[in-house]
Every structure is written in C-alpha cells, then in structure tokens.
Amino acid sequence: MSDRSVPLRILGIDTSCDDTGVGVVELTPGGAARVLANRVWSQTVHAQYGGVMPELASREHVERIDAIMGDALAEADLRVQDLDAVAATSGPGLVGALLVGLMYGKGLAQALNVPFYAAHHLEGHIFAAASEAELNAPYLALVVSGGHTHLFDVPSDGQYVLIGATRDDAAGEAFDKIARLAGLGYPGGPAISEAATRGDPHAVPFKEPLKGQPGFDFSFSGLKTAALLAHRGGASPENLAASFQRAAVNALVNTTVRAAGATGRGTVVVSGGVAANRALREAFGATGLRVVFPGRGLNTDNGAMIALAGAAAIQAGRPASALDGGATAYAPLANA
C-alpha cells in the first residue's frame, strides 16, 4: 500500500443489518475517491414481521454475499485479483449479521494478501457523502436512519464529537412504526414519503419534539404516541403521514441549524436512510447552509460507503486493521 502513484481499488462490505452490500471505490493518487460499483441485496423476508429478525438476516447474508460480490466486481469491470484493499463493517449492528461480512472480508484480504480495514458503520454513512463532494473538516454530520439518529461535530478529519442524539427511538424507526400503524407498508420511509404527497401536513397538529431545548438532542417516541391517538381519532393515513413527516423533518432540521450556529460550522453532512427523504432534503436546502447528501443509492446501508471509509483511512495513513478483531453490537463513534 506504499505505492500511491497508481489508483487503488478498495472493496467494501456491509452486512450490519438486513442489507447485503458490496461496493468498489477507486482512490486516485490525488486523493479523490470514485465509486465504481455499489450492489445491495435488500432482504424482503422481514416484511411479514414488521421489523428485522436477526437470525434470518444472518442466514440471508450467508446465502447472498457471494453473488453480490460477483455483481459488484462485474459492475466495476474488475477481477478479484485487481483489488488493493478490503474494508468491512465491524460495528455497530446485529452481531450475527456483522460477522458474515466481517469474516468474509478478512478471508478475502488474507487470500489476496492485501490490507484489511475494519470500518465503523456510522463513519461509513458519513463518508458516503464523499461520493458527491470532498469532505474537509470542520463540519457537522447528521446520521439519521432506522437504527441511528446522531449529530456529530467533526472539528478535524477523523475526530467525531457527539453533540446530539435521540433520547429514545431513531427517526427511521419512528417512520417504520407509524407507517405500519397507518397500514402503509414496510419499510416506512418511502411509504411515508409517498403517502405524504397526498396528505395535509397541518391536518394533525403534532408538536415539534424538544422544541426550545438548550441542547441538540432528538426524540421521536412522543410523535409515535401522538400518531397512535390521531389514528384512533380517525386521521387518514395520508394526513397522518404528511403531518408526522413535517414534525419529524422540522425537528431534525431546526436542531441541526441551531447546532451549526452554536459551533460556527457552515457545512453539514446529512446521511443515512432518512436522508433520502425528499421533504428533509428540501427543508435543508432552504437553510442557507452548505448541505452535502450522499449520492444516489448511498443513503441506505451499502458496501460503497464502507469502501469510501476505507479509502479515507488509507488517505489519512491509518494502519490496516488486525485480522483478529471481532464484531461489536454497540460501538460509539465519538472519540472526544
């Protein structure tokens, strides 16, 4: 890995939950990262349960990862021997699911005699935005998905200071549960977004959670309770979706804008599955901040974002990871 005079091809693997993701990124000698391939298998077996079943997720990863790997290499027009490094998510996530991709990645790196990089799932989400713009600290990073709602200050490259997080449910989880309550289907993010286009965002008077708080935390459990009461009161699924979306988006955007003002940051990275929400993107677009979203297909869990995190590690000169490290269900990203 000492020769940086030629492009490097990094394979990334993410099996942290119910998506089997394999991506390939090319890191140029100048430090630019370009996504060559991004293939994701989204498991459908969990829809009947309204949530992810960990054991089933692990089995699906085992059955699919070889095929997804082949698809990614074909899309990138590479042979496995052309790879210069391998990165895989080590946490946080479902341990059984994580182990599938982690052990696969380690075995591949060892067989190819190339460096292996264990990647943090949330750092992967942040670096997904590097597919669209060069990320130079300082900036804020809002990671908002089905399992995470975290707001980080990034004062320098590789340093993450957690300044806000959900006190209860993740935003994406709330989207899923309210969509299920309203009979809109699973996963809830796209279902809520689509139904909201036909509803009145002011029909149900949801309060913006934690409005007026001194800090930068989030909360979505109260919205779920309010949605249940509104549903029982006869609110239509479309009005429920539009009104919930408005309250959730306002909470995410307004809190992040206040944090940007308090820290003096002019750039915000917004990533994670909820970052694909059209209303959220439009609201952030009206803030006057420089807001960077991941490219198409990189919002939800995927392997390309892990390859991008691996590319960032290489660019920063970080040492490769030991092959005896394990998967971690709970792994805080903040280091200050």
What CATH class does 137-292 carry?
alpha beta
Instruction: State yes or no: pLDDT of 336 exceeds 50.
Output: no
Domain ranges of the chain: 8-128+299-315, 137-292
For residues 190 and 172, give the distance between their C-alpha atoms in angstroms, rounded to a whole number. 10
- The predicted pLDDT at position 299 comes to 93
Top-level CATH class of 8-128+299-315?
alpha beta
Q: How confident is the model at residue 31 (pLDDT cuts 50, 70, 90)?
A: confident
pLDDT of residue 123: 96
Distance CA 97, CA 99 (A): 5
pLDDT per residue over 283-313, tens digit each?
Answer: 999 999 999 999 988 999 999 999 999 999 9
pLDDT band at 1 (very low <50, low <70, confident <90, very high): low
The pLDDT of residue 101: 98
pLDDT given at position 256: 98
Q: What percent of the chain has pLDDT over 70?
A: 98
The answer to whether residue 138 scores a pLDDT higher than 70 is yes
- Per-residue confidence at 52, pLDDT binned at 50, 70, 90? confident
Average pLDDT in the 59-68 region?
Answer: 95
Q: Give the tens place of pLDDT for each residue, 163-222.
A: 999 999 999 999 999 999 999 987 789 999 999 999 999 999 999 999 999 999 999 999
Same fold flag, 8-128+299-315 and 137-292:
yes
pLDDT at 65 over 50: yes
Give mean pLDDT, residues 248-263. Answer: 97
